[in-house]
Amino acid sequence: MHESALVQFRSEIRHFYLIAVANIVFAALVMAFGISVLVGQAVSMYETFSTALYVIYSPVILLIALVAALTGFSWLLTGVRVFEGIKTIKDDLDEKGREVSDEALTRLIVRMLSHYRDNRAIIRTMIVVCTLGGVSSFLLGILGSLEFLSVSTDGIVFTLNNYLVIPFMLLALGVALVSLTSSCYFSRFAKVWDERIGKIEESEALLKETLERDRR
Amino acid sequence: MSGRRTAFEIYWEILVFCRTPQSFTGIINRCDLNSKTGQEYLGFLVAKEYLVEVAEGDKTRYISTERAGEYTALFSSLYRKLFDTAPRFKL
């Protein structure tokens, strides 16, 4: 029983570690994306008021970029907190090598459960933030690159602004895809661990009975 | 070990740590408890005879009794069983 539990625990820790890393990388990308647009808009604002109005900045894009930068920043901070906890557990597990005693494995399981209980609310928020971030990124990627869009009974016709926007569009779609995937895995992870916490609560009655049994 | 733990997880941690004689300060440091809650947990375990107090010079140390083995074994098997059966998480 110990071997299969160890293999499964090790695999889950590694998979969750990968998701936590991907989450941090894409939070940083969202923040960088927001900041780069903010800087671009700041330049446009300066040119709008200093030149002959050839360039007009968009307050809507400015607001969206500001929200993206701030969301990315707070997403990054919370992501790092979840990542640090899982990294410590993963490092301790890797340090023990292939042979992990029953006691050490149980201790690591208790630590992971404790880490999950501490970050349960954050993980739930991340599921929502990743979904919203993914959808927003997808829409920004599509809208930002379209010059003309026509939907009729004959079909959909669209024209891209410029070939230069294709890399930007692909980046935005990439961020969207990873955010949505991340959200999906976070929610699967939360579902599995919530069920485990439920099982522990069920077995507490047995632990209590064993602990309070009077043999005198 | 810190973070949100159940009382049963804390009892297990104390009993496993006290397989070798430990001081009160050593136990509360290891299990990340404050003096008041540490006293409550140790009081319960001593009252239930899972721990005994041993005098070593002018110091008191705590050591797990044989009874503790049944609880720690049950606890370990229940927690490891969580990973032997569904649900399972994978990418």
On whether any CB of chain B is under 8 Å from the CB of A211, the answer is yes
CA distance A178 to chain B (A): 13
Of A21, A35, A127, A36, the residue nearest A82 (C-alpha):
A21
What does the block give as tokens for B35? 């003096």
Whether B89 sits inside 8 A of A15 (CB atoms) is yes
CA distance B73 to chain A (A): 9
User: For B26-50, what is the mean pLDDT?
Assistant: 94
On whether any CB of chain A is under 8 Å from the CB of B54, the answer is no
Residues 6+ apart with CB under 8 A from A126: A23, A75, A78, A79, A82, A182, A183, A186
pLDDT of residue A160: 62
Architecture of domain B7-78: Orthogonal Bundle (1.10)
Which residue of B49, B64, B76 to mutate against A (max A Cβ within 10 Å)? B76
Chain A residues within an 8 Å CB radius of B82: 5, 109, 196, 199-200
Which residue of A86, A207, A212 to mutate against B (max B Cβ within 10 Å)? A207
pLDDT of residue A144: 65
By CB atoms closer than 10 A (0-12, 13-18, 19+), residue A144 is: middle
What does the block give as tokens for A121? 């609310």
Please give the single-letter amino acid code of residue B43.
Answer: G
Q: What is the pLDDT of residues A21-44, one digit of tens each?
A: 988 887 888 888 788 878 877 777
What does the block give as tokens for B90? 């994978």
pLDDT of residue A117: 92
pLDDT of residue A66: 85
What does the block give as tokens for A64? 């969206």
Range 70-99 of A in CB contact (< 8 A) with B: none
Asked if residue A162 has pLDDT above 80, the reply is no
Q: What are the residue ranges spanned by the domains of chain A?
A: 2-212
pLDDT of residue A214: 64
Chain A residues within an 8 Å CB radius of B66: none
pTM of the model: 0.81
Pair A194, A127: CB distance under 8 Å = no
Which residue of A211, A212, A214 to mutate against B (max B Cβ within 10 Å)? A211
Asked if residue B4 has pLDDT above 80, the reply is yes
Q: What is the DSSP string of A106-171?
A: HHHHHHHHHHHHHHHHHHHHHHHHHHHHHHHHHHHHHHHHEEEEEEETTEEEEEES-TTHHHHHHH
Whether A195 sits inside 8 A of B13 (CB atoms) is no
Of B34, B3, B70, B30, the residue nearest A109 (C-alpha):
B3
Strand partners, A158: A149
Q: What are the residue ranges spanned by the domains of chain B?
A: 7-78
Q: Predicted ipTM?
A: 0.90
Q: What is the pLDDT of residues A178-190, one digit of tens each?
A: 888 888 988 998 9
